Amino acid sequence: MNNSFLRISIWVYLAIFFAYLLGPLVIMSVTAFNSSGFPRMSPWECLTFQWFGELFQDQRILNGIKNSLIIGAGTVVLSVAMGLAGALLLTQIWPKLRATYYTIIIAPILIPGVVLGISTLVFWDRINRMLGLGADSFLSNGIFLTVIGQSTFIASYCMLVLVARLQRYDIALTEAALDLGATHAQAFRKIMLPFMRPAIASAAVLAFLASFENYNTTTFTFGEYPTLTIELAQKVRYGITPAISALAFIIVALTVFFALLNEAKLKRQELVAAARKQATVEELAGKIRLPSFFAGNMAAVLLVMFAVATITVVGTATAYNPAQCIADVREQKQLEAETRIQKLRQLREERRKQREAEEAEQGDVQSTPKPSNNSGFGNVFAPNALDGDDGDGASDAENPPSNNGGSGGVFDPNSLQGDQ
């Protein structure tokens, strides 16, 4: 009883935890497929892939991605090289200095990215001037500065990853290589580097992701080469469209894909190693019968499911045309709007009649209540009117914000649509 309660609590906790972790990503991804002009899940209008199309037509986003990739590659090379050098030094340095050295080398992680960005800019600008170079020199190039600026702290992350692996390295392996006639360079290249390869790969991925998502430092250093994060931040200032959701969905999908791919590969290596251990000499000498790729490999199964899902989605996207649905939604909205207008007209008519009757009674010609009535209705109908507009998306030439404005604006678009 108590035990089952505990178990249920754990599951509930897990559900909440994962909802908290993944919920925003899921919602953002879903909004990428809604035809609504503002990224949202409800009300669901139409399944559409138009935002992906729009994303790939947005030159600023594409340019941002390109710059991010270039800077990411540069940062990976520089950070991993510096991280490896730092890690090697940490294992070689005089033990008494080790703690101090470690603190110094870790410090950039603790320094705010904004400070690193400003100091990078100031420092290289000063060097640029000392060398007497102009404002368009290599040293003030946005890509150069961003790579340098990001690497100041990403190299520290890389070092941490590499040190963890290096601590498991047996220095006797290098000694054995030297003893067998290798030079120090050969021992490093043939023995230590292959040993470090998995950690170098991890560090490279980490460095790339850290570079790709960096904003704080980059915002000071990008110059004429805005990265994706910079472009996104600038875009958000002028309003957000589901094209951003589409980009988010692509990034999430790619991340899941590579995570699964890596997991499947690791699992496969494990299985192969296990099979090799069991294999007899004859089997090894002859052809090794590898276990089927999927046997006991959950990640591989998921990967294949993922691939199938991707193909399905892409296939649907090319074949599917939401125009009919969008048209239906538009029509429905127009109908709704028309009925509303009818009602409004009726209401107005009734009031006019009432007023006329009153005027006839009082002989007083006062039209003051009219605007106040309009604004009252305007508040009620404004969101719906907005929906109608957004549903039309880019094809609609009208400007939604204007609807929120004057009281007359409430009626204008609806009546216009009704006329169409």
Partner 1 sequence: MSAGVGVDLENLWIRFGDFVAVRDANVNINGGDFFSFLGPSGCGKTTILRAVSGFLEPSEGNVLIGGNNMKGIGPNKRPTALIFQNLALFPLMKVWENITFSMEIKGASSAERRKRADELLEMIALPDQGDKLPSELSGGQRQRVAIARALCAEPDVLLLDEPLSALDLKLRQHMRTELREIQKRVGITFIYITHDQGEALTMSDNIAVMRAGVIDQIADGKTIYNDPATAFAASFVGENNVFRGKIKRVMGNEALIATNRSGDLVARISTANQGKMKEGDDAMMFIRPEALAIAPDGATGDHFVTARVNHEEFEGNAFNIFTEGDGGKEIKVSLPNLGQSFEDHTGQIITLEYETRNAVLVPAGELAAE
Say whether residue 364 binds partner 1 (CB under 8 A): no
C-alpha–C-alpha distance, residues 165 and 356, integer Å: 89
In the bound state with partner 1, the residue whose beta carbon lies nearer, of 251 and 279, is 279
In the bound state with partner 1, the residue whose beta carbon lies nearer, of 99 and 180, is 180
Say whether residue 99 binds partner 1 (CB under 8 A): no
Which of 1, 172, 360, 365 lies at the binding interface for partner 1 (CB under 8 A)?
172
Question: CA 158 → CA 100, 101, 117, 210, distances in Å?
Answer: 18, 16, 19, 10
Q: What does the block give as tokens for 199?
A: 């950690």
Q: How far is the CB of 73 from partner 1 (least distance, A)?
A: 27
| Residue partners of 344: CB distance under 8 A and separation at least 6 | 377, 411
In the bound state with partner 1, the residue whose beta carbon lies nearer, of 28 and 177, is 177
Stretch that binds partner 1, among 50-58, 178-186, 217-225, 326-334 (CB under 8 A): 178-186
Burial of residue 330 (number of CB atoms within 10 Å: 0-12, 13-18, 19+)? buried
The three state secondary structure string of 380-400 is: HHHHHHHHHHHHHHHHCCCCH
Residue 47 pairs in a beta bridge with 34
Say whether residue 95 binds partner 1 (CB under 8 A): no
Stretch that binds partner 1, among 96-104, 273-281, 353-361, 369-377 (CB under 8 A): 273-281
C-alpha–C-alpha distance, residues 278 and 35, integer Å: 56
Say whether residue 176 binds partner 1 (CB under 8 A): yes
In the bound state with partner 1, the residue whose beta carbon lies nearer, of 195 and 294, is 195
Which of 191, 203, 228, 300 lies at the binding interface for partner 1 (CB under 8 A)?
191
C-alpha–C-alpha distance, residues 216 and 30, integer Å: 28
Say whether residue 206 binds partner 1 (CB under 8 A): no
| Residue partners of 355: CB distance under 8 A and separation at least 6 | none
Burial of residue 287 (number of CB atoms within 10 Å: 0-12, 13-18, 19+)? exposed
C-alpha–C-alpha distance, residues 5 and 152, integer Å: 50
Which of 276, 352, 353, 370 lies at the binding interface for partner 1 (CB under 8 A)?
276
In the bound state with partner 1, the residue whose beta carbon lies nearer, of 27 and 290, is 290
In the bound state with partner 1, the residue whose beta carbon lies nearer, of 176 and 323, is 176
Taking each continuous run of H as one helix and of E as one strand, the counts in the chain are 18, 0
Say whether residue 281 binds partner 1 (CB under 8 A): yes
Say whether residue 175 binds partner 1 (CB under 8 A): yes
Cβ–Cβ under 8 Å, residues 22 and 252 = no
Which of 179, 349, 356, 358 lies at the binding interface for partner 1 (CB under 8 A)?
179
Which of 173, 201, 314, 335 lies at the binding interface for partner 1 (CB under 8 A)?
173
State which H helix or E strand residue 294 sits in.
Answer: none
In the bound state with partner 1, the residue whose beta carbon lies nearer, of 288 and 295, is 288
Q: Is 34 helix (H, G, I), strand (E, B) or coil?
A: strand
Stretch that binds partner 1, among 190-198, 292-300, 317-325, 408-416 (CB under 8 A): 190-198
Q: How far is the CB of 261 from partner 1 (least distance, A)?
A: 22
| Cβ burial 12-32 (10 Å sphere, 16+ → b, else e) | eeeeeeeeeeeeeeeebbbbb
Which of 55, 177, 203, 303 lies at the binding interface for partner 1 (CB under 8 A)?
177
Which of 183, 255, 316, 339 lies at the binding interface for partner 1 (CB under 8 A)?
183
Among residue numbers 152 through 171, which ones bind partner 1 (CB under 8 A)?
A: 170
In the bound state with partner 1, the residue whose beta carbon lies nearer, of 269 and 366, is 269
Instruction: Give the binding site for partner 1 (CB under 8 A).
Output: 170, 172-173, 175-183, 186, 190-191, 194-195, 276-277, 281, 284-285
